[in-house]
């Protein structure tokens, strides 16, 4: 028995693989099976002249996703996927799969989501889930190597910590309870017991808007550190994100390549992350302040002009190739070649046209952005496009941030920080120094209209040995989406839960 990822070690030997048929084609007494076993892909060749009749006819009948056990000799073959080929000497079928719904043709996203339980078997999803796994391991390693204690915070909670509009309410033995939006408040208590902790668990938010970065159930990593101020917090976030991205570059080159991820862009995390106050960020977004000689609005306008030029060029090339195909005397090969080119160009055109529609809207909303408002997705994109590494924005208007954030020197602002990922991914981390003064915290809870009794236990942390402390929360799915450069968070988690999606 062997796994495909270990074939290098058994070259020349006869081994047995178990898995599923990813693909099969037959030609002149040969059957080529692409076997998938979860660790990789391997071409298995069944040769009618070398195999008993029964085994060969089984091979010939295999359908996509049939489950099989295949035995044969492993030979090196650079041209094959994975670099090895198995010459079949025996074959056993566990089950001959029925017509598989996911085929090579392009499927719509809703169809794929309805078949998420099967879609997970595809190459891209395979790569994403393996990267997600590695990210999770790297996150634990980072905190464990630094002496943080992992803690499990409750999922049933009586406390609304991240606003009252996104609560999932539930019944807890006739008492009103919520699914946790965050583990932070419990993390703060634990940090006063252990010094430095982190939580890593599912969190829940009833987000009734369909966006490409909101899930109703997502996994969050929340470290909490005693005797830590906002600057130390930002240093930790930077070190942390760099560590995780480096780990993935190191450990998942094959998966990143399969996803066609431009890894040069990921390597930019090695540069220092720019840090700016909210007030400066607003000036930059509005085009009132340049960074590194670049102006947000002018950059967008230039990009739009370039984009429109590129669209015109592509349209011309498509027309030219379409004319070529129709010309008399064209060979079949040339026609196919041009048709493929045209299909590729049209795909690019679709993306470009989409962006050329977005940019004018971004410009409008950037110019109109009002100081005091929270950033929308497009504002984040306008800002982060000027940098290639993640950007940290600190000192936010108190009115748009959570009650627990510590007031800055100017009490209209709080010591919060958001980390915005490059390439349009927006906020991946939200953190802050916490209000450690009992009276100010009581005032904030009252201002928010939150029930004081529910927070008495939390206020105790300010009554008994209160210390400056900070922490942050990283949304795992947003990190996975950025690292894999996915268009939507729905592909970052095995079974996404979001508005309008409870099955499968």
Residue 136 three-state SS: helix
Torsion, CA 131, CA 137, CA 142, CA 145, rounded to 10: -150
* Options 471, 480, 483, 484; binder of ligand 4AD; rule CB under 6 A: 471
For residues 40 and 430, which CB has a smaller minimum distance to Mg ion in the complex? Answer: 430
CA nearest to 401, candidates 370, 432, 371:
432
> In this chain, which stretch among 80-88, 212-220, 263-271, 297-305 interacts with ligand 4AD, using CB under 6 A?
212-220
Closest contact distance (angstroms) between CB of 471 and ligand 4AD is 5
Closest contact distance (angstroms) between CB of 418 and Mg ion is 6
Q: Which does 431 bind (CB under 5 to 8 A by kind): ligand 4AD, Mg ion, none?
A: ligand 4AD
User: Which residues make Cβ contacts (< 8 Å) with residue 44, sequence separation at least 6?
Assistant: 17, 32, 33, 34, 35, 70, 72, 85, 86, 87, 88
Q: Which residues of 472-488 are buried (b: 16+ CB within 10 A; e: fewer)?
A: bbbbbbbbbbbbbbbeb
- Contact by Cβ (8 Å): 467, 436: yes
Site for ligand 4AD in 118-177 (CB under 6 A): 162
Q: Which does 477 bind (CB under 5 to 8 A by kind): Mg ion, ligand 4AD, none?
A: ligand 4AD
> In this chain, which stretch among 35-43, 54-62, 95-103, 427-435 interacts with ligand 4AD, using CB under 6 A?
427-435
- Contact by Cβ (8 Å): 495, 504: yes
Site for Mg ion in 378-437 (CB under 5 A): 430
Tally the C-alpha atoms within 13 A of residue 175's C-alpha that lie toward its C-beta. 8
For residues 40 and 390, which CB has a smaller minimum distance to Mg ion in the complex? Answer: 390
- For the chain, what's the residue count? 504
Provide the token pair at 121.
Answer: 């078997």
430 binds ligand 4AD (CB under 6 A): yes
Q: Which does 382 bind (CB under 5 to 8 A by kind): ligand 4AD, Mg ion, none?
A: none
Binding mask 216-255 for ligand 4AD (x = CB under 6 A): --x-x-x---------------------------------
424 binds ligand 4AD (CB under 6 A): no
User: Which residues make Cβ contacts (< 8 Å) with residue 168, sequence separation at least 6?
Assistant: 178, 179, 204, 205, 206, 216
Binding mask 431-470 for ligand 4AD (x = CB under 6 A): xx--------------------------------------
Please state whether the peptide bond connecting residue 504 to the residue before it is cis, i.e. omega within 30 degrees of 0. yes
Q: Which does 188 bind (CB under 5 to 8 A by kind): ligand 4AD, Mg ion, none?
A: none
Residue 258 three-state SS: helix
Tally the C-alpha atoms within 13 A of residue 463's C-alpha that lie toward its C-beta. 7
184 binds ligand 4AD (CB under 6 A): yes
For residues 101 and 376, which CB has a smaller minimum distance to ligand 4AD in the complex? Answer: 376
For residues 44 and 474, which CB has a smaller minimum distance to ligand 4AD in the complex? Answer: 474
460 — alpha (psi -120 to 50), left (phi > 0) or beta? alpha
For residues 87 and 488, which CB has a smaller minimum distance to ligand 4AD in the complex? Answer: 488
Tell me the sheet residues that pair with 223: 198
Closest contact distance (angstroms) between CB of 115 and ligand 4AD is 23
Closest contact distance (angstroms) between CB of 74 and Mg ion is 51
283 binds ligand 4AD (CB under 6 A): no
Which H or E element spans position 30?
strand 30-36
Which H or E element spans position 347?
helix 332-367
Residue 178 three-state SS: strand
- Contact by Cβ (8 Å): 102, 184: no
CA nearest to 483, candidates 118, 135, 32:
135
Site for ligand 4AD in 31-50 (CB under 6 A): none
For residues 65 and 222, which CB has a smaller minimum distance to ligand 4AD in the complex? Answer: 222
CA angle 212, 218, 221 (to 5 degrees): 120
For residues 422 and 475, which CB has a smaller minimum distance to ligand 4AD in the complex? Answer: 475
Q: Which does 65 bind (CB under 5 to 8 A by kind): ligand 4AD, Mg ion, none?
A: none
Closest contact distance (angstroms) between CB of 193 and ligand 4AD is 17
Which H or E element spans position 73?
strand 67-76
For residues 210 and 294, which CB has a smaller minimum distance to ligand 4AD in the complex? Answer: 210
359 binds ligand 4AD (CB under 6 A): no
In this structure, what DSSP letter does residue 398 have? G
Q: How many residues bind Mg ion (CB under 5 A)?
A: 1
Closest contact distance (angstroms) between CB of 105 and Mg ion is 40
* Options 207, 353, 388, 423; binder of ligand 4AD; rule CB under 6 A: 207
For residues 11 and 374, which CB has a smaller minimum distance to Mg ion in the complex? Answer: 374
For residues 430 and 496, which CB has a smaller minimum distance to Mg ion in the complex? Answer: 430
- Contact by Cβ (8 Å): 101, 449: no
CA nearest to 109, candidates 494, 493, 488:
488
215 binds ligand 4AD (CB under 6 A): yes
Question: In what order do the strands lie in the sheet containing 391-397?
Answer: 149-151, 196-204, 217-226, 469-475, 426-433, 413-421, 391-397, 275-277
**Residues near Mg ion (CB under 5 A):** 430
Residues that bind ligand 4AD (CB under 6 A): 162, 182, 184, 205, 207, 214-215, 218, 220, 222, 427-432, 471-475, 477-478, 489
């Amino acid at each position: 028995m062997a796994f495909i990822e270990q074939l290098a070690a058994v070259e020349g030997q006869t081994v047995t693989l178990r898995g599923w048929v990813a693909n099969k084609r037959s030609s002149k007494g040969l059957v080529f099976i692409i076997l998938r076993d979860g660790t990789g892909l391997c071409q298995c060749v069944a040769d009618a002249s070398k195999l008993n009749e029964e085994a060969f006819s089984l091979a010939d009948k295999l359908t996509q996703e049939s489950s099989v056990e295949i035995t044969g000799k492993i030979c090196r073959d650079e041209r094959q996927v994975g670099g090895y080929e198995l010459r079949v000497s025996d074959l056993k079928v566990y089950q001959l799969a029925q017509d598989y719904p996911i085929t090579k043709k392009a499927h719509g996203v809703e169809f794929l989501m309805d078949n998420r339980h099967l879609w997970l078997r595809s190459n891209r999803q395979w790569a994403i889930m393996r990267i997600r796994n590695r990210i999770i391991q790297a996150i634990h390693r980072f905190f464990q190597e630094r002496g943080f204690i992992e803690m499990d915070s409750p999922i049933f909670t009586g406390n609304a910590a991240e606003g009252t509009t996104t609560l999932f309410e539930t019944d807890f033995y006739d008492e009103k309870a919520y699914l946790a939006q965050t583990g932070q408040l419990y993390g703060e208590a634990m940090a006063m017991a252990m010094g430095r902790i982190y939580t890593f668990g599912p969190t829940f938010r009833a987000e009734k808007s369909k966006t490409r970065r909101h899930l109703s159930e997502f996994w969050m990593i929340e470290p909490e550190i005693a005797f830590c101020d906002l600057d130390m917090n930002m240093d930790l976030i930077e070190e942390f994100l760099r560590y995780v991205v480096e780990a993935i570059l190191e450990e998942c080159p094959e998966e990143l390549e399969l996803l066609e991820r431009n890894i040069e862009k990921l390597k930019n995390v090695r540069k220092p992350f720019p840090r700016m106050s909210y007030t400066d960020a607003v000036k930059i977004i509005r085009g009132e302040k340049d960074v590194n000689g670049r102006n947000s609005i002018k950059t967008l306008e230039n990009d739009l002009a370039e984009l429109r030029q590129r669209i015109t060029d592509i349209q011309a090339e498509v027309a030219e190739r379409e004319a070529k195909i129709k010309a008399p005397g064209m060979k079949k090969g040339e026609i196919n070649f041009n048709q493929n080119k045209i299909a590729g160009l049209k795909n690019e055109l679709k993306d470009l046209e989409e962006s050329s529609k977005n940019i004018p809207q971004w410009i409008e909303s950037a110019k109109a952005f009002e100081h005091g408002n929270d950033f929308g997705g497009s504002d984040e994109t306008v800002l982060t496009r000027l940098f290639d590494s993640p950007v940290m924005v600190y000192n936010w208007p108190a009115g748009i941030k959570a009650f627990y954030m510590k007031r800055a020197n100017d009490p209209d602002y709080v010591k919060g920080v958001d980390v915005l990922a490059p390439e349009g991914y927006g906020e991946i981390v939200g953190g802050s120094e916490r209000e450690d003064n009992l009276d100010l915290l009581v005032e904030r809870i009252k201002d928010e209209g939150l029930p004081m009794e529910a927070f008495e236990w939390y206020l105790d942390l300010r009554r008994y040995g209160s210390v400056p402390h900070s922490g942050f929360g990283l949304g795992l799915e947003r990190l996975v989406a950025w690292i894999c450069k996915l268009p939507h968070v729905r592909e970052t988690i095995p079974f996404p839960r979001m508005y309008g999606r409870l099955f499968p």
